[in-house]
Amino acid sequence: MKHYLSLKDIDSLPDWVSEARQLKEKPTAYKNLGSGKILCLLFFNNSLRTRLSTQKAAMNLGMDVMVMNFGSEGWQLEFEDGKVMDQGKSEHIKEAAQVVSQYCDIVAIRAFAGLKDKLTDEAEMVLNGFKKYASVPVVNMESSVGHPLQALADAITLAEQNSKPRPKIVLSWAPHPKALPHAVANSFVAMMRLQDAEFVITHPIGYELNPELTKGIPLEYDQERALENADFVYVKNWSSYTDYGKVLHQDPDWMMTSKKLGKAKFMHCLPVRRNVVVADAVLDGGQSLVIEQANNRTYAVQVVLKKILEGSNQK
Amino acid sequence: MKHYLSLKDIDSLPDWVSEARQLKEKPTAYKNLGSGKILCLLFFNNSLRTRLSTQKAAMNLGMDVMVMNFGSEGWQLEFEDGKVMDQGKSEHIKEAAQVVSQYCDIVAIRAFAGLKDKLTDEAEMVLNGFKKYASVPVVNMESSVGHPLQALADAITLAEQNSKPRPKIVLSWAPHPKALPHAVANSFVAMMRLQDAEFVITHPIGYELNPELTKGIPLEYDQERALENADFVYVKNWSSYTDYGKVLHQDPDWMMTSKKLGKAKFMHCLPVRRNVVVADAVLDGGQSLVIEQANNRTYAVQVVLKKILEGSNQK
Amino acid sequence: MKHYLSLKDIDSLPDWVSEARQLKEKPTAYKNLGSGKILCLLFFNNSLRTRLSTQKAAMNLGMDVMVMNFGSEGWQLEFEDGKVMDQGKSEHIKEAAQVVSQYCDIVAIRAFAGLKDKLTDEAEMVLNGFKKYASVPVVNMESSVGHPLQALADAITLAEQNSKPRPKIVLSWAPHPKALPHAVANSFVAMMRLQDAEFVITHPIGYELNPELTKGIPLEYDQERALENADFVYVKNWSSYTDYGKVLHQDPDWMMTSKKLGKAKFMHCLPVRRNVVVADAVLDGGQSLVIEQANNRTYAVQVVLKKILEGSNQK
């Protein structure tokens, strides 16, 4: 029984990246591996890249796919143990997870942070509910606190683009009109711990990520200084973690520009708000890797599915 | 032209149950039977088990599947003959059913009771509209008055679990905060008529099911007495039929508990509200069959699809 | 790089119609052509016929299909260049189109006219955005100003039903309670330019279509005179083009009746409002072709997909 819930489920990042790059060369080389197997995608939130790239990866492996928007097409789930379910929720995660497991061979789940309550989000109720009660492997398609498929795709992109033994990589906060989750930033940080790189995080005061995740990683509040001689700049907005889920400010000075970027390559997970998070000139210029990052989403999830199908993603 | 609209479309329940159990042993034994055939699922209401188990069953038979949420993705349907369609409804069932038939080989439909008007619900406009105008076989994925796929799955579960020549089986009403349809209870009753069993229905006064369906079946208003020496207890809420669609009371005394259940096996179609319909201890204990009932949904619909594909489900 | 965006992308209508009719005879004759290829359907608006017939056509060609309701399942798109995206829209068409292209081999798009602003609708932002930025062929599943798959299906139906060297074909406006787009009428007119027929358009004053599209085509405000000796009558509502998107009147005298129809065949793209657009007697009588038109939707889109897959739909 092997899940892909976080970066911790990767036994060797270099090996996985290498295998993903081989799949990218020959996407249908393992067309028989998934034959007769069903992947079920359960979306509790919207999705474009994850929705389509995961279907494509499964098809590349010969799997059948079922897609369900859980909230609008199914029933509201209860997660609390011992609850008297006399309100709006019709089904408990205990039944839902056991039942869905019987209709598929792998279940993949997207359930974003609500950003109302830190403890609730960190409990990862949907993902952990499926992990606990499902009888088939569970894949995280972005949960409250992590987006490990994105981070794996980013690792592939870095491997393809980097030519230095120890590149400088900067994670730079950007402004955004809405409060966004920390999942992408968290998983990028976790992935960077598995890289040989000079890694720096930069953001305004008040936007510190969960200190348990960033412990020991250099933090630089001065964006300009952080970006000096960077080889790769990963830009992302997130809401405050300390003042949980709040938008503390939207200072346009933090937007990424060609000038700030210098000679570095630009990365972002998409969707991205042009001229708020990053200037048009960066996205439309030759240093942006965002389209290739999205392309690598297919091969990131394909290597995960392949390893689950092979029953070989032991830690 | 053979439909699966109600239990009446089963020529021999023991034969169908036996064939379903063989499919459960070898789900892909007839992988070529549905090759090149398309099943179209049309949902006028939400669904989890039916949505996924029906897709899986079709895939097991090698069919292609198209899923459509009719209300949100298509057009509002008119059912009345001779209507001047100058209000909200854009398409008549006459066209919709004929058209959809041309894009698939079997069409499966879910359309719940509205519980506003008994005559409207009993007219089964959606299901009967498709039956009348479709040129391909129609499968009932729960209509206003019946859920024959659930009842067939329940018959499979009973066959697997029962060891007595004539078990005692009780259908016991349970409280629920919302008004629910009668479809599951109706089809369970119809299925019990095809079983060799001592069958008793129990519910509070005012919750009598359609007397045409329950004629001759023992009714016991005293739940405790009804449950004496039961081998299987099928628990389900439904709203009042006489005072149509009303919630007359929500007496928690009618909730199923371990004490009441005794040595009987517990059955429910799911989704179920814990600690309202049934106590946690029952669902989490060894006498609950609900997860296996859900599992058998796949093989119930698979035997239906197989028989339609074989053109052999004559009465 | 070959798209199907409008009738202009057809090099020879007679050849395409002939090929579609061959596909109708043997739908799965090219089952291997699409093997390992993915068609992605993106719906910005509701759909029944297009949704199902396009999936069926793709399956007939052996393609895998991914369906996405862009608005409700994905992110709101921005189309304007240089925009500061600090409002409701999360992703720019530039990224969306490039990204989606990487997950499929053909992308098909439905995006209706908004009918608020003529210039905006005529800019065809969604369709042209994908045309400009996608790296795979784009198929128009009805855009602001055209519905070329419908027109191709109509050409197939005419070819099947017509026995005269030069039939009289009338496009007749009909009343409708809502403001509808011009797309179907526009593409029908464009298709008629490729036919050897006596073609007349009839509608009340104020409902003139875009004069650039109808230039040189006889217009007759007197419906009765227009219908004289017609062989085929194509009925359709559209809102005013001059007083853009407005419903100027809903005169029931313009509804098509058996008396008006005479000996002509009746055509409509569906969905159709009975007894508003056309009388029951016409739809239920032997002269209606609407069900066959819908059937031909499958073979229209199948010939388009086949030509794209063969890389042979050059002008």
The tens digit of pLDDT for each residue in B82-94 reads 999 999 999 999 9
The pLDDT > 70 percentage for chain B reads 98
- Alpha-carbon distance of C231 to C261, in angstroms, equals 9
User: In what helix (H) or strand (E) does residue A240 lie, and over which residues does it extend?
Assistant: none
Confidence band (pLDDT; 50, 70, 90) for A93?
very high
Mean pLDDT of C230-248: 98
Q: Crossing angle of helices A93-101/B290-310, nearest 10°?
A: 40
- Alpha-carbon distance of A93 to A95, in angstroms, equals 5
- Interface A–B counts its CB contacts (< 8 A) at 89
- Residue C313 pLDDT > 50, yes or no? no
User: At C61, phi and psi to the nearest 5?
Assistant: -90, 5
- Alpha-carbon distance of C200 to C230, in angstroms, equals 9
Contact residues for C7 (Cβ-Cβ < 8 A; gap 6+): C13, C146, C148, C151, C152, C187, C190, C191, C194
The CA-based dihedral angle spanning residues A130, A53, A65, C40, taken in that order and rounded to the nearest 10 degrees: 140
Superfamily name and number for B7-147+297-310: Aspartate/ornithine carbamoyltransferase (3.40.50.1370)
pLDDT value for A71: 81
pLDDT value for C294: 98
Look at residues B173, B265, B298 and name the one whose alpha carbon lies nearest to residue B223.
Answer: B173
CB B305 within 8 A of CB B30: no
Closest-CA residue of chain B to C70: B73
Reported as a single tens digit per residue, the pLDDT across C87-139 is 999 999 999 999 999 999 999 999 999 999 999 999 999 999 999 999 999 99
Q: Where are the domains of chain B?
A: 7-147+297-310, 148-293
Name the residue facing C270 among B72, B87, B99 (closest C-beta).
Answer: B99
Q: Calculate the average pLDDT of chain C.
A: 96
The CA-based dihedral angle spanning residues B298, B303, B309, B310, taken in that order and rounded to the nearest 10 degrees: 160
- Residue B314 pLDDT > 70, yes or no? no
Q: Per the CB < 8 Å rule, is C56 touching B104? A: yes
Q: What is the DSSP letter of B253?
A: G
Confidence band (pLDDT; 50, 70, 90) for A269?
very high
- Measured between alpha carbons, how far apart are the two ends of chain B, in Å? 12
- Alpha-carbon distance of B30 to C110, in angstroms, equals 37
CATH of domain C149-293: 3.40.50.1370
Q: Per the CB < 8 Å rule, is A73 touching B47? A: yes
Q: Calculate the average pLDDT of chain A.
A: 96
Reported as a single tens digit per residue, the pLDDT across C133-176 is 999 999 999 999 999 999 999 999 999 999 999 999 999 999 99
The pLDDT > 90 percentage for chain C reads 96
From residue A262, give the alpha-carbon distance in Å to each of A157, A203, A253, A282. 19, 18, 16, 10
pLDDT value for B166: 98
Mean pLDDT of B97-115: 98
Q: Which residue, chain included where needed, has tokens 């990218």?
A: A24
Q: Which residue, chain included where needed, has tokens 């297009």?
A: C50
pLDDT value for A130: 97
pLDDT value for A313: 43
- Residue A315 pLDDT > 70, yes or no? no
| b/e per residue A221-245 (b: at least 16 CB within 10 A) | eebeebbeebbbbbbbbbbbbeebb
Tell me if B7-147+297-310 shares its fold with B148-293: yes
C274 is in an annotated binding site: no
pLDDT value for C315: 38
To the nearest whole Å, the CA of A301 is away from the closest chain B CA by 22
Q: Which amino acid is at B254?
A: W
Mean pLDDT of C263-269: 98
User: At A213, phi and psi to the nearest 5?
Assistant: -85, -25
Give Cα C42 distance to the centre of its chain: 16
Q: Per the CB < 8 Å rule, is B38 touching C46? A: no
CATH of domain A7-147+296-309: 3.40.50.1370
User: At C279, phi and psi to the nearest 5?
Assistant: -75, 150
Give Cα B273 distance to the centre of its chain: 18
pLDDT value for B5: 98
The CA-based dihedral angle spanning residues B173, B175, B177, B183, taken in that order and rounded to the nearest 10 degrees: -10
- Alpha-carbon distance of B51 to A67, in angstroms, equals 10
Mean pLDDT of A253-257: 98
Name the residue facing C75 among A271, A275, A283 (closest C-beta).
Answer: A271
- Residue B108 pLDDT > 90, yes or no? yes
pLDDT value for B1: 47
Specify the 3-state DSSP secondary structure of A64.
strand
Lowest mean pLDDT among A53-57, A310-314, C33-37, C282-286: A310-314
CB of C29 within 8 Å of a chain B CB? The answer is no
Q: Per the CB < 8 Å rule, is A43 touching C73? A: yes
Reported as a single tens digit per residue, the pLDDT across A14-26 is 999 999 999 999 9
CB of B90 within 8 Å of a chain C CB? The answer is yes
- Alpha-carbon distance of B197 to B200, in angstroms, equals 9
Contact residues for C242 (Cβ-Cβ < 8 A; gap 6+): C206, C208
pLDDT value for C251: 87
CB of C142 within 8 Å of a chain A CB? The answer is no
Closest-CA residue of chain A to B177: A86
- Give B-chain residues touching C298 at CB under 8 angstroms: 102-103
Q: In the structure encoding, which two tokens stand for residue A80, read together? A: 């609390």
Reported as a single tens digit per residue, the pLDDT across B134-159 is 999 999 999 999 999 999 999 999 99
From residue A169, give the alpha-carbon distance in Å to each of A162, A252, A264, A296. 10, 22, 9, 19
A236 is in an annotated binding site: yes
CATH class of B148-293: alpha beta
Q: For an interface test with A, which of B28, B32, B39, B48 has the most A Cβ atoms less than 10 Å from its Cβ?
A: B48
C142 is in an annotated binding site: yes
Q: In the structure encoding, which two tokens stand for residue B62, read together? A: 């090698």
- Give C-chain residues touching B90 at CB under 8 angstroms: 271, 273
CB of C78 within 8 Å of a chain A CB? The answer is yes
State which fold the A150-293 domain adopts: Rossmann fold (3.40.50)
Q: Calculate the average pLDDT of chain B.
A: 96
The pLDDT > 70 percentage for chain C reads 98
- Alpha-carbon distance of A123 to A131, in angstroms, equals 12
Reported as a single tens digit per residue, the pLDDT across B191-208 is 999 999 999 999 999 999
Look at residues C147, C156, C138 and name the one whose alpha carbon lies nearest to residue C194.
Answer: C156
From residue C310, give the alpha-carbon distance in Å to each of A213, C11, C31, C135, C313. 52, 15, 13, 17, 8
Q: In the structure encoding, which two tokens stand for residue A284, read together? A: 């439309």
Q: Is the peptide bond before C218 cis (omega within 30 degrees of 0)?
A: no
- Alpha-carbon distance of C68 to C74, in angstroms, equals 8
ipTM for this model: 0.96
A34 by Cβ neighbours in 10 Å (0-12 / 13-18 / 19+) ranks as buried
CB of C271 within 8 Å of a chain B CB? The answer is yes
Long-range residue pairs from B220-225, CB within 8 A, at least 24 positions apart, any chain: B223/B172, B223/B253, B223/B254, B223/B260, B224/B260
